[in-house]
Copies of this chain bind each other. A is one copy, B any other.
């Protein structure tokens, strides 16, 4: 928080490029046994299977992301020179058990890409191995360079933001699905990553949660900058306005993304914040109202264009009815992007944009 701005801007460099990494990668799953702690690995393997050569797990009960098992030595012998850290436990913490693997990878001539909050290079053994091996560790959660302060200036181009009731409800998956569907229809579209997994998939973006809090909204001006009037940028949301730990980050992201369209992501059947079961979720109508109210500070025409629900926790026979009931309640297309298709949301999004002063369809 600063003051007396008068629309000046702090000088900042624009060199927020993604590192150049040799493909394919060895995916490190560590020793995590909860699939949520391996969601970087599973998300990456789902969207970029062609970039994944193998998985390295420290025990047989570690999450299996479906790749061939591979040691550092085997990976090196196959000519693999990048280790992707696929674990993402709470707060980006770091297990001491992983250090030996990182050191071994560096000594084998591999670069490492990590999305952990804790810097690998803060570990003395890893720092020594970096120095000795002359390899690189790319710490995506520690963006280099400086950032602008956010402003209300409306940037050209259409933006869609995925928002959620909670963490881990499919915001990245939904954004990537929308981007893929738009591209398949010939609409100019770009996925804008705001977290480490999305960055690894897109080879661009910024980890918003690693940015100093004064610059949350401003950093979105780098992630989703000025673009052609009839193009779409699909911005990956983070956190939730209803999550006690992350709501501030979420609000800054909503303001910086200045979305024309939003898609609400939710896990059907969840009634409280998963991390904090004493914090109930508001009804979906209220969630949507709060997001729209927040977004309209910057973009008065912000609106929802659909709901992306993960219905996997419901009995199979109830899923279609859940989505139909939700459509009736909200008057919006409601889909499960895994079980059904994202297409109705894309239709609705483009319809709305087509009636806007600047048509979104070429």
- Chain A residues packing against B (C-beta within 8 Å): 1-11, 34, 36-37, 39, 88-93, 117, 149-152, 167-168, 195, 208-214, 216-218, 238-239, 242, 244-253, 255, 275-276, 278-279, 290, 293-294, 297-298
Contacts and interface: CB of A to CB of B under 8 A. Distances in A.
Given A90-B4, A90-B6, A244-B255, A212 B214 contact: no
Given A4-B275, A6-B275, 7 more contacts: A1-B195, A1-B209, A1-B238, A3-B168, A217-B246, A244-B297, A247-B251
A249 B4 contact: no
Nearest to A277: B7
Nearest to A89: B4
A247 B252 contact: yes
Interface centre among A34, A91, A250 (most CB of B within 10 A): A91
A114 to B, nearest CB: 14
Given A149-B90, A276-B152, A117 B2 contact: yes
The A interface is mostly helix, strand or loop, or mixed, namely loop
Given A3-B168, A5-B245, A245-B218, A211 B208 contact: no
A209 B213 contact: yes
Contact of A4 (B37, B195, B244): B37
